[in-house]
Structure 1
Amino acid sequence: MNQPARRLFVHSVPAPPRGHLPFGESEGAPDRIEVTGRWFERGGRPWFPITGEIHYSRLPRDRWNDVLGHARAGGLDSIATYVFWAAHEPEPGRFDWTGNLDLRAFVELAAEHGLDVIVRLGPWAHGEYRNGGFPDWLVAQGLKTRTNDPDYLAQARNLYAETIGRLRGLTHAEGGPVIGAQIDNELYDQPEHLAALRDLAEELGLRVPIWTATGWGGAQVPETLLPVYSAYAEGFWEDETTEWAAFAPVHFCYSEVRDDLTVGADLREALDGVAASDAADLDGKLPYATCELGGGMHVAYHRRPLVSGEDVAALALAKIGSGSVWQGYYMYAGGTQRTGPQGTEQESQATGYPNDVPALSYDFHAPIGEHGQIRPHHHYLRRQHLWLQEDGHRLAAMTTSIGGGSDDPAELRWAVRADGRSGYLFATTYQPPKRPLAAQHGVQFTVEFEDETVTVPSVPVELASGISLAWPLRYPLTPDLKLRSATAQLLTRIGDDEGDIVVLASVESIPVEIILGDGTAVELPTAPGPECLVELPGVRLLVLDEASANRLYRLHVAGRDRLVLADAPVYADGGDLIVQSEAASATVALLPAPDGLDGAEVSANGRWRSWTVATGGGSVPLEVERRPEHGLVPEPRRGGPMNRLSAPDDYTNAAIVHLEIPSDAMEADKALLRLDWTGDTGRAFVGDRLVSDHFWHGRVWDIDLTPHRDALAEHGLRLELLPWSRATGAWVDPSVRDFEDGVTINAATMIRVGKTRLHGLVSLEAG
């Protein structure tokens, strides 16, 4: 049965308040960044930043370039990174900025990839680091940390002075990439201290246009810092009795409420004894900025969430529909916890935290994994980021009107973001599988602009369960031609020798309807896909299917921006195309096409020219016992300030599995052992060295063997796998609970990840 058309009236957007905030740069500054009461501006027009968290100190330095390249290819325009105090000052007065601790080199490399940088200065960071990243020697002094205690500020001054010295010449005002700094992290009740830390950083010479502090939990943020917010689909910090975190469902609705009073509440209460206060009313006073949209989720021993790529993408799109003007992800690339003089440096119950987390793995199931694995949500999010890169300057200046979206799962969730003349329609039937939403039947929307009413689609449609969409309304195709509506999502816009191409992506199960400004319906020449090109006066529309949209990149290759369709992860580096693949070969197609790609063979000619490249990737299955012997399950233990399950440290009864790694399996740019298994926890050793660990939570365990080639030849790999017992009570996702107690190895596979550099060839006449 068709439902009545949903209807909203959208107003013109008033000019935002200006000049009332202590951020931004003075008039006349090159590429001036300004912060208004509702959005950010850069170079004189609204700007929609897209930021991903990447921790340089948790990545091997020789992998920085790949990770930053993929981040840029994923549509980010900036990255954020913690400065972990304990890593840089392991002993009082002895600072270390070498190897993968070289902050300056990391920032400079980010700039080479076209990425700006927000430096999260600390002094306290959290990031699942022991003592929030405070050095052990500092903790031993018993200072009144995270306050304006003079002795603590003197120590913080030393850290800030060293850090800011490393950034000299790299700030935005100096022509560099550093556009912002975050002060401390998750500090709720010390606004005077936060303000003092900004004053200290400026006194030491740091000049950046944007100063932030985390604002969730009703944090008391001083006026000199911009509060930034979080949203997660799940949380490892919840109790093991919690089926779905109470804070999560709201993030799959459209809501202009920015704060979340429950994210990280356990840590706040356990460590600081501080309860959340009421959320502040910030609408119209400060722009809605995020810094921790969950790019995935970490695991703890007692609770091991399974956040999917679909969860991440739906949540991110819901925040755009809710009014976000800055998409910031935590994490965007996973990493490995550091090991210091006192051992591994993860948070744990032994160091006063409520939770035990893995000693090494900080994969976070991020879009880019701990070892550079490219996950599905890297592609899903890239679709959103391409759109924001293309039309973010218009979207940032649009306000949100909520059409529907209460906690009632039967109510359609929808919103319009508009400026009174044009906008975007958002709708979703997505919620994680543990609490899915039903399909919506007979769906149609009517949006009343000031001078026209738009109804989309012209005939009611069904929105299947699990869909999130953003449809353009009155989008300007050319100065003389508008797209009144489309049941397809805007991806990007690019030019070739024949003019502009506007790229749209269809939504699976919804017919594509394109209506021009005069009411003319556009007929597609073929089904949506790479060859579905519609010729219009002064512009062409390329309408992709969803599978092709998930393979689409926009990269600067061979002297110009090009659309790239790739069946393997790719990024651009110095005008070349870098292809990384777990398969032996990959295919890439470019539009407009260069004359050639040195290192690849042409496989198809047409509007898109395709090349096939040998990558050197592949897989080698290893023989392994399916049900290795083990002893009794360790007795469950509890600890920490919230008496949660503790990770076992006695592996006496573990199943011991020895694997000999074939030398040819290591002959690649990167070599991973992929273990498909079930159990409780696992550790991997090369000789006596712990190289990886894993709390089983429903996904494969990838172990990077690349750094250990020589030692593996001598020692092989030893796995210690503790058996699972449902009776222990650790929480895992309902979708993966139905398996046997004990240890089961379904497969052990060596994955060779190949990497190939393709140099784009362009004739002098064309170039």
Structure 2
Amino acid sequence: MKTITLFSVLALSTSIVFSQNYQIDAPEKWISIRSEHIKMGGIAPDGSSIEVNNFYMLRNGIPIIPIMGEFHYSRYPANQWEQEILKIKAGGINVVATYVFWNLHEEIEGEWNWTGNRNLRQFIRICQRYGMDVIVRIGPFAHGEIRSGGLPDWLFTKNIDVRSNDAEYLTYTNKLYKEIANQLEGLYYQDGGPIIGCQIENEHQHSAAPWAICYKGETAIDYTAASYDKGITKFGVSVQEAKIKRAELGNEHMRTLLDMAKKAGINTPLYTTTGWGNAAIIPGEAIPVTAGYTYATWVPRNQKSEFCLFKNLWQEPDYSPVRYNPTDYPSASAEMGVGIQIGYAIRPVCTAEAAEALMVRTLGGGSNIIGYYMYHGGSTPRMQNNGDFLSDQPVGLPKISYDFQAPLGEFGLENVQYRPLRILHYFLNHFGNRLAPMQPVMPTNVGTLMPDNRDELRYAARMNSAGEGFLFLVNSQDHDSLRHDLTNLRITINLPKEHLTIPEGNGFTLPKNTSVILPFNFQMDGALLKYATAQPLMVIDDHGTPHYFFSVPNGMSPAYAFDPTTIKGKARFTGIQPGFQSTFCVKLRGGKSIKVTTLSHEQALNASCIEGKLLVTKASVLAKGDGRVKLLQLGNSVFDYVLYPSRQGFKPVKVAVDTVPTEAKVVESVPWRTEVTFNADASNTPQVNEYFLKVHYIGDLALAFIDNKLVHDHFWQGKPWLIGLNRYAEKMAAGKPMGFYFRPLRANAPFLEDLEASLLPDFSSGPVLEIKKCVIVPEYTTTVVLSSY
């Protein structure tokens, strides 16, 4: 409910200030938690446990909200896995999900390859070393924008009905599962290992991939689906409008695959299946997971998504209808597309604001398991047998690049979503145990708001019967650059025992293109925070005193209101300027105290929690848990950071490493082609973690070659092309130049409307190709020893 109330008349102006009053009511009936219908869970050798009920997961009896990040081991060099897993962990992710692509491991029937960047076992061991749980997605069908959805080419030669209970198909699948089980032996949760889950198949009776062998102009593309599913399978994630005529066969196939996996030895506490779009599931024995893509390339171009609008996702999953009772399972939004894989004809640019809105909306809607596809991009390898490309070529994807505009990109660099999402992840890491049991509550406007609406507040709440909870607010929308600040907002929460209005007095501003989570009746070690117009970030032990850190978006004023019966002295804190200097102390009735600091938005973006300390730095952070922190910084050899608590307090520390001279030598440059040489080996410059080649150009696309072999490709989106050189260092050090082929950009290119007009060149003289410069950018590194502070 929303009302507009005259708040005050300005004495020196004719302007009238209105407050926009919104309301939300506590539910009349609270959720009944039950688990008797769910046959999942497990116990580790040390006695720790995983449980699942119909609303949330528990670890050792404590509610949790797992945060999953997809990272494909086979799409990244094995000698860099450790570094990238540490980056993923530093982003607040605690579960790594990864596909096992069948066609990468059995290119030739009967010949299995689990070496190099196909070494699944080694990848999982590294995850285990750094305390990262793992969910293995075993197929047999994966999709994943890879050739034939991961099904090997040699299946073409068999007279079988793929993705069905065809006996011969199951025989081949059983061999796959046994091979995977051999790789995973001893690494399961019940063995003390990190593997807590397994996904069976993918998007069964919902989506398929085109078989790799098809030709331009074909009107009936052959999809990788069972014969009885032809005509109803989708290419991308979407609502299923068609009736699935043989749903019982899909359910039977999923059940068969689960039984085969268990018999092969793949036994995990959790199993998952695709839940969206009426896909086939396994009732009671696998959690159905859902998805959401704000920049989907398979919907009409520039269409505003509904994924920045709130709804009760526990009761009504995205891409409904679904083939299960949603309230029987936790809402698992496990494939959140904060990025997207671009294709030749469509190249949307994903924004951080849309990613943040998607996830605040998803958590506010009741999701208690979240995950990202992709969280870390990569490069699709070639087939080792014949050198052919393994990317999904029939739909016009890059041959190699699988950056996906993910929070961590193809070469491990942060994309724009990484840090805003990290703020949310730290909130969940520190306070998710409180949020998980809280019921989602929607206001009355959720049924009427549309993506084009810029004037009404998008909001929801999660709360429990004791009146504790969080407000979730969104003022962002994908594909919309014309939003405005929402000002003078006041929200009344009608709880069982009180009517709580946030804030008291004047309303607050929710700036455009921002999203935020506000607490109410928030317990802080004995002090009851009635509300704050700031988002909880983390709590650390500050020499025995709990120190709570909050953050606010730029343009939003933090205020805190404590219950005066729980503290001594001042209960209202307003007029706060965010920053390190904002710290205030609240004395408790029992004689103890807590500290509260409100970080600015920039400080929060740069904040990490490392071994119980707050580390604020613009550098990327890698921590092995050994008391040392490795910092990485592209192009800047001077590191600034704040480590708290420490002897310096909030005083910044500056560390400079020696700069290195870099020069990319252009040995040949003719129209459309360029060759560059550079010794990319960083072993002689320990202050450099990796060298990157930055190619400034305007064109349609570019291809990179070494030793007459295509090693990378790039579809232009208006930004420079950054190439990490560690994986090519050996050949470049041997004098092999990196050669490039560029294709001019034409005025009728189909993707131009995806880009900002300011990025487009002048086409008045015809097609445009500008190769501006190639520069080498070092990624500098230094180490911070926490014990020295």
TM-score, with length taken from structure 1: 0.86
Partner of 1:444: 490
Deviation of 1:202 after TM superposition, in Å, equals: 0.7
Deviation of 1:451 after TM superposition, in Å, equals: 1.7
The answer to whether the aligner puts 1:505 opposite 2:551 as a matched pair is yes
Deviation of 1:452 after TM superposition, in Å, equals: 2.1
Q: How far apart, CA to CA, are the structure 1 residues paired with 2:148 and 2:469? A: 46
Partner of 2:399: 359
Q: Which amino acid aligns with 1:143?
A: I
Partner of 2:776: 750
Q: How far apart, CA to CA, are the structure 2 residues paired with 1:360 and 1:28? A: 42
Q: How far apart, CA to CA, are the structure 1 residues paired with 2:780 and 2:325? A: 49
Partner of 2:674: 657
Instruction: Work out which of the residue numbers 570, 590, 594 in structure 2 matches 1:539.
Output: 594
Q: How far apart, CA to CA, are the structure 2 residues paired with 1:201 and 1:507? A: 47
> Per-residue displacement from partner, 1:612-657 (whole Å, max 9, x unpaired)?
334567785758799x875xxxxxxxxxxxxxxxxxxxxxxxx112
Q: How far apart, CA to CA, are the structure 1 residues paired with 2:343 and 2:659? A: 33
Instruction: Work out which of the residue numbers 723, 731, 734 in structure 2 matches 1:703.
Output: 723
Q: Which amino acid aligns with 1:399?
A: Q
Deviation of 1:521 after TM superposition, in Å, equals: 4.3
- Identity among equivalent positions (%) equals 29
Instruction: Work out which of the residue numbers 180, 197, 200 in structure 1 matches 2:257.
Output: 197
The answer to whether the aligner puts 1:718 opposite 2:718 as a matched pair is no
Q: How far apart, CA to CA, are the structure 1 residues paired with 2:785 and 2:278? A: 51
Compared with structure 1, are the counterparts of its residues 142 and 434 closer, same or farther at alpha carbon in structure 2 (3 Å cutoff)? farther
> For structure 1, which segment, 467-476 or 521-530, has the greater mean C-alpha deviation from structure 2 after superposition?
521-530
Q: How far apart, CA to CA, are the structure 2 residues paired with 1:26 and 1:173? A: 6
Deviation of 1:735 after TM superposition, in Å, equals: 1.4
- Once the two structures are superposed, the pairs formed by residues 214-229 of structure 1 within 5 Å of their partners are 214-223=274-283, 224-229=285-290
Partner of 2:301: 243
Q: Residue 501 of structure 1 contacts residue 540 of structure 1 at CA under 8 Å; is this kept in 2? A: yes
Q: Residue 444 of structure 1 contacts residue 457 of structure 1 at CA under 8 Å; is this kept in 2? A: yes
Partner of 1:596: none
Residue 122 of structure 1 aligns to a residue in which SS?
A: coil
Residue 87 of structure 2 aligns to a residue in which SS?
A: helix
Instruction: Work out which of the residue numbers 695, 701, 704 in structure 2 matches 1:675.
Output: 695
Partner of 2:386: 342
Residue 541 of structure 1 aligns to a residue in which SS?
A: strand
Q: Residue 525 of structure 1 contacts residue 533 of structure 1 at CA under 8 Å; is this kept in 2? A: no
Deviation of 1:505 after TM superposition, in Å, equals: 0.5
> For structure 1, which segment, 458-467 or 111-120, has the greater mean C-alpha deviation from structure 2 after superposition?
458-467
Q: How far apart, CA to CA, are the structure 1 residues paired with 2:337 and 2:744? A: 30
Deviation of 1:745 after TM superposition, in Å, equals: 2.9
Residue 296 of structure 2 aligns to a residue in which SS?
A: coil
Partner of 1:477: 524
Q: Residue 616 of structure 1 contacts residue 752 of structure 1 at CA under 8 Å; is this kept in 2? A: no
Deviation of 1:146 after TM superposition, in Å, equals: 0.7
Q: Which amino acid aligns with 2:57?
A: F
Instruction: Work out which of the residue numbers 419, 422, 425 in structure 1 matches 2:468.
Output: 422
Q: Residue 337 of structure 1 contacts residue 344 of structure 1 at CA under 8 Å; is this kept in 2? A: no
> Per-residue displacement from partner, 1:45-64 (whole Å, max 9, x unpaired)?
21110000011111111111
Q: How far apart, CA to CA, are the structure 2 residues paired with 1:711 and 1:671? A: 14
Compared with structure 1, are the counterparts of its residues 112 and 487 closer, same or farther at alpha carbon in structure 2 (3 Å cutoff)? same
Q: How far apart, CA to CA, are the structure 1 residues paired with 2:192 and 2:659? A: 40
Deviation of 1:462 after TM superposition, in Å, equals: 3.0
Q: How far apart, CA to CA, are the structure 1 residues paired with 2:264 and 2:677? A: 54
Residue 725 of structure 1 aligns to a residue in which SS?
A: coil
> Per-residue displacement from partner, 1:334-385 (whole Å, max 9, x unpaired)?
1100111233434445xxx4x1101111111111111111223211111101
Deviation of 1:27 after TM superposition, in Å, equals: 12
The answer to whether the aligner puts 1:589 opposite 2:642 as a matched pair is yes
Compared with structure 1, are the counterparts of its residues 568 and 617 closer, same or farther at alpha carbon in structure 2 (3 Å cutoff)? farther
Q: Residue 29 of structure 1 contacts residue 173 of structure 1 at CA under 8 Å; is this kept in 2? A: no
Partner of 1:606: 648
> For structure 1, which segment, 716-725 or 661-670, has the greater mean C-alpha deviation from structure 2 after superposition?
661-670
Partner of 1:381: 421
The answer to whether the aligner puts 1:44 opposite 2:61 as a matched pair is yes
Q: How many residues align?
A: 698
Q: How far apart, CA to CA, are the structure 2 residues paired with 1:346 and 1:311? A: 31
Instruction: Work out which of the residue numbers 13, 25, 32 in structure 1 matches 2:42.
Output: 25
Instruction: Work out which of the residue numbers 751, 761, 766 in structure 2 matches 1:730.
Output: 751
- Flag structure 1 segments of 5+ consecutive residues without an equivalent: 262-276, 594-604, 631-654
Q: Residue 473 of structure 2 contacts residue 515 of structure 2 at CA under 8 Å; is this kept in 1? A: yes
Partner of 2:336: 293
Q: Residue 399 of structure 2 contacts residue 713 of structure 2 at CA under 8 Å; is this kept in 1? A: yes
Compared with structure 1, are the counterparts of its residues 150 and 731 closer, same or farther at alpha carbon in structure 2 (3 Å cutoff)? farther
Deviation of 1:531 after TM superposition, in Å, equals: 2.9
Partner of 1:548: 603
> Per-residue displacement from partner, 1:528-560 (whole Å, max 9, x unpaired)?
11232111122111111111001100012xxxx
Q: How far apart, CA to CA, are the structure 1 residues paired with 2:375 and 2:146? A: 17
Q: How far apart, CA to CA, are the structure 1 residues paired with 2:95 and 2:638? A: 31
Residue 386 of structure 1 aligns to a residue in which SS?
A: helix
Q: How far apart, CA to CA, are the structure 1 residues paired with 2:105 and 2:522? A: 49
Q: Residue 665 of structure 2 contacts residue 677 of structure 2 at CA under 8 Å; is this kept in 1? A: no
RMSD of aligned C-alpha atoms?
Answer: 2.5
Q: Residue 460 of structure 2 contacts residue 473 of structure 2 at CA under 8 Å; is this kept in 1? A: yes
Q: How far apart, CA to CA, are the structure 2 residues paired with 1:336 and 1:618? A: 28
> Per-residue displacement from partner, 1:426-471 (whole Å, max 9, x unpaired)?
1111013545433323211000222222111221133222121110
Q: How far apart, CA to CA, are the structure 1 residues paired with 2:112 and 2:720? A: 38
Q: Which amino acid aligns with 2:769?
A: V
The answer to whether the aligner puts 1:692 opposite 2:712 as a matched pair is yes
- Flag structure 2 segments of 5+ consecutive residues without an equivalent: 1-16, 206-246, 588-592
Q: Residue 578 of structure 1 contacts residue 756 of structure 1 at CA under 8 Å; is this kept in 2? A: yes
Q: How far apart, CA to CA, are the structure 2 residues paired with 1:430 and 1:290? A: 19
Partner of 2:14: none
Compared with structure 1, are the counterparts of its residues 760 and 728 closer, same or farther at alpha carbon in structure 2 (3 Å cutoff)? closer
Q: Which amino acid aligns with 2:290?
A: Y
Partner of 1:254: 310
Q: How far apart, CA to CA, are the structure 1 residues paired with 2:375 and 2:63? A: 24
Deviation of 1:44 after TM superposition, in Å, equals: 0.8
Q: Residue 124 of structure 2 contacts residue 134 of structure 2 at CA under 8 Å; is this kept in 1? A: yes
Deviation of 1:512 after TM superposition, in Å, equals: 1.1
Q: Residue 338 of structure 2 contacts residue 354 of structure 2 at CA under 8 Å; is this kept in 1? A: no
Partner of 1:324: 367
> For structure 1, which segment, 611-620 or 199-208, has the greater mean C-alpha deviation from structure 2 after superposition?
611-620
Partner of 1:597: none
